[in-house]
A and B are shown apart, each in its own frame.
Chain A
Amino acid sequence: MANSLRLYLTCIRNTLDAALCLQNFPCQEVERHNKPEVELKTSPELLLNPVVYGPLVLICRNEAEKCLIETSINSLCISLKVKQSDELENILTKKFLRFLSMRAEAFQVLRRKPVQSFHTFLMVVGYSTVYYTQGYDISFLITNYHCEDMQKQKLIEFIVQFMEDIDKEISELKLSVNTRGRLVATEFLKQFI
C-alpha cells in the first residue's frame, strides 16, 4: 500500500520537476496583459492557440485517485482527485477541500475552484436530466511569478507533502466523526436505560 503511494508521489515529483520550467510570457491575444496561459485554454470564447500550450499528463494511482498536470509556457495547473471510499469520506473530502479552496489567497498557489474535466455526461433521473461533470477535488495553479518568488524544489515539496497529508487528514476526520457519533449516541441512549 505504502509502496504504491511512494511510486505515485515519485512520478508526480519527477513530472513537476520537468514541468515547472516557467517563464514570464506576455499575452499574445490581449495587449499589455499577462495571463496564465493554462487558464486561457479553458476559456471557450478565446481562440485556442495550440502553440503555447503543453501536453496534459494524467497520472493515475488507481481508478479513484489521479492527478492531472496541465502545462503551458508561464503556468501550471495540478488537479488532484482524492480517494473517497465511502459516502462519509466523500462528504468530508468535499467540505475540507472547499474550506481550503475558499482561503486560496493564503495559500497563493491554490486555485479557488477545482478543474472540471471535459467529459460531462447526461444522467436521466426520473423526469429530469442531470449533467454530471467528472471533476477533480482540488487544483493548484502555479505561475511564473510563484517560481520567481519561491524556490522550485520547495514548491514541489509542498505539493507532494499536501498529497500525503490529505489522506491522513481525511482518515483522522472520519475517525473523529465516528468517535463523536458513538459518544453522542451512547449519551443520548443512556436516558432510556
Chain B
Amino acid sequence: MASVSVHQFAPCITCHAWSPDQSMIAFCPNNNEVHIYKMLEGKWEKIHVLHKHDQIVSGIDWSRRTDQIVTVSHDRNSYVWSQEASEWVPTLVILRLNRAALCVQWSPKENKFAVGSGAKTVCVCYYEQENNWWVSKIIRKRHDSSVTSIAWHPNNILLATTSTDGKCRVFSTFIKGVDTKHTSSGSDSKFGEQIMQLDLSHSWTFGIRWSPSGNTLAYAGHDSMIYFVEEIGPSPSAQSVAFRDLPLRDVLFLSERMVIGVGYDCNPMVFTADERGLWSFLRFLDERKQTSNAKYDSQLSGTFGKLYGQSKSGSNESNESSRIRAHDNCITSVVPLKKTRDATVTTFTTAGLDGKVVTWDLQKQQDLMEYLQG
C-alpha cells in the first residue's frame, strides 16, 4: 500500500501545509480558523488555533527557512504569522483586494509571496524593512476571471497562474530592491510582464506547478485533462493528456518525470514521462478491488428491490462497499513532505473534503522508482 498513514483531523479540510521539520501541520477545517497540530507521543495534539480571519481560509503556506505561515482568506485579507515565544503573532498584509483571495505560495527564496484572487488579479507581496510591513504589487488587467492557482519558478522571478477562464499565463515578477537582476532571464524584467499565455483548455483550470528544474509546467483542466508545457517562452510546446476519470484539483511534481494529480476521484493519479518526454497516465496510487468496477448495473438492480421509504441522505451502499480507498471525498490539495537532495519528492500528503490527511510513501512502489531517479 502506498498510503502510510491516515488521520482524520476535522469534518472537512480546505488546505494544509507542513512545518519545515515536518513535525507540525497547519490546516483550515473549512472555517475561518487555522489549526496547528503537533505529533506528541504518537498522537496528534492541537497546539495552536490561529483566529484572525472572518471567512474561510482558502490558502496556507509555511516557509521553510524563515518559519513563517502566510494565510489568505475569502474575506480579502492576508496575514503573515511568525512564532514569538510560544504564540503565533499575525502581521496584516495590505493586499488591496476587493474580492476573495483564493491561493497563496511563498517564493523559493521566501522574500516574496503571491496571492491569486477572485478580483481577476495576482498580488505579489514583499517585506518593506523601513516601514516594517508587507506591501503588495498587483498584476491587473491580464486575467479574464478568477485566478485559481499560482506557482513560482525556481528562479524566484517567474510566476505561473491558472484561471477560471481556462488559460494559463506566466508573468515576470521582478521587483527592484528585492530581486537581483538575472542576466539569463533576458530583458523581460518588468514587473507584471506577461511572458506567455496558453489557451489549451475549454474549461476551468486549476493546480499549476513547475517541475523541480523549472523546465516543465503542469496544470489540470476541469475537462479531465492535464497539460504539460515545455520551453516556456514565445513558442512553448504543450502536451495534453486526457483521461477517463473525474477531473483533477491539484498536481505535484515528484521528479522531472513523474507527476501526481489529485481530484474528484479520491485517488491520486500517477502521470509519467517516458525517455522521449511523452507524458501519459500510468496508474492510480491507491489499489482498488476489481469488484467495485461492476458499477451501476448491480447498484441499480440492488436498489430497485430496496426499501421504498429511504432516508433522505441516501441509501445503503452495501453492495458497493468493496472500495478500500484512503479518501472518501474529493482530494483538494497535495503537499510534498520529504525531498531528497536533488529535489525529488518521495513522500507527500493529500488532504480532502473528508477531513483526512493521508501520507503517501513511494519507497516501496517498485514500478515508480525508475521515474523518481529521472
Whether, in the assembled complex, A14 has its beta carbon less than 8 Å from a beta carbon of chain B, the answer is yes
Consensus secondary structure, chain A interface:
helix
Beta-carbon contacts under 8 Å, A159-177 to B: 160-161, 164-165, 168
- CB-CB under 8 A from A6, the residues of chain B are 300
Give the residue name and chain of the A residue nearest to B163 (CB): A51
A158 in contact with B246 given A26-B100, A32-B100 (CB within 8 Å): no
Tell which of A10, A17, A158, A165 touches B314, judged by Cβ atoms closer than 8 Å.
Answer: A158
- CB-CB under 8 A from A165, the residues of chain B are 308
- CB-CB under 8 A from A32, the residues of chain B are 55, 74-76, 100
Whether, in the assembled complex, B273 has its beta carbon less than 8 Å from a beta carbon of chain A, the answer is no
Whether, in the assembled complex, B197 has its beta carbon less than 8 Å from a beta carbon of chain A, the answer is no
B206 to chain A, nearest CB (A): 8
Alpha-carbon separation in the docked complex, A157 to B165 (Å): 32
Whether, in the assembled complex, A59 has its beta carbon less than 8 Å from a beta carbon of chain B, the answer is no
Beta-carbon contacts under 8 Å, B327-374 to A: 328-330, 332, 353
Tell which of B75, B145, B247, B310 touches A52, judged by Cβ atoms closer than 8 Å.
Answer: B145
A151 in contact with B328 given A26-B99, A31-B98, A32-B55 (CB within 8 Å): yes
- B315 and A21 within 8 A (CB): no
Alpha-carbon separation in the docked complex, A174 to B100 (Å): 52
A153 in contact with B320 given A9-B300, A51-B165, A161-B315 (CB within 8 Å): yes
- A14 and B314 within 8 A (CB): no
A169 to chain B, nearest CB (A): 9
A159 to chain B, nearest CB (A): 9
A156 to chain B, nearest CB (A): 8
Count residues on chain B whose CB falls below 8 Å from chain A CBs: 47
Tally of A-B residue pairs with Cβ under 8 A?
102
Alpha-carbon separation in the docked complex, A32 to B30 (Å): 16
Count residues on chain A whose CB falls below 8 Å from chain B CBs: 40
- B14 and A24 within 8 A (CB): yes
Beta-carbon contacts under 8 Å, B145-194 to A: 145-146, 164-166
Beta-carbon contacts under 8 Å, A53-78 to B: 73
A152 in contact with B164 given A32-B100, A157-B303, A161-B315 (CB within 8 Å): no
- B300 and A157 within 8 A (CB): no
Alpha-carbon separation in the docked complex, A151 to B166 (Å): 28
Alpha-carbon separation in the docked complex, A25 to B101 (Å): 10
- CB-CB under 8 A from A124, the residues of chain B are none
Whether, in the assembled complex, B59 has its beta carbon less than 8 Å from a beta carbon of chain A, the answer is no
A interface, CB within 8 angstroms of B: 6, 9-10, 13-14, 17-18, 21, 23-28, 31-32, 34, 49, 51-52, 73, 106-108, 147-155, 157-158, 160-161, 164-165, 168
16 further A-B pairs in the complex, CB-CB below 8 A; given A14-B296, A154-B317, A157-B317: A17-B246, A18-B246, A24-B58, A26-B99, A26-B102, A28-B145, A52-B145, A106-B312, A107-B312, A147-B329, A147-B353, A148-B329, A150-B314, A152-B330, A158-B310, A158-B312
Sort A-B residue pairs by CB-CB distance and give the 5 closest, nearest first: A154-B314, A26-B100, A21-B264, A51-B145, A26-B74
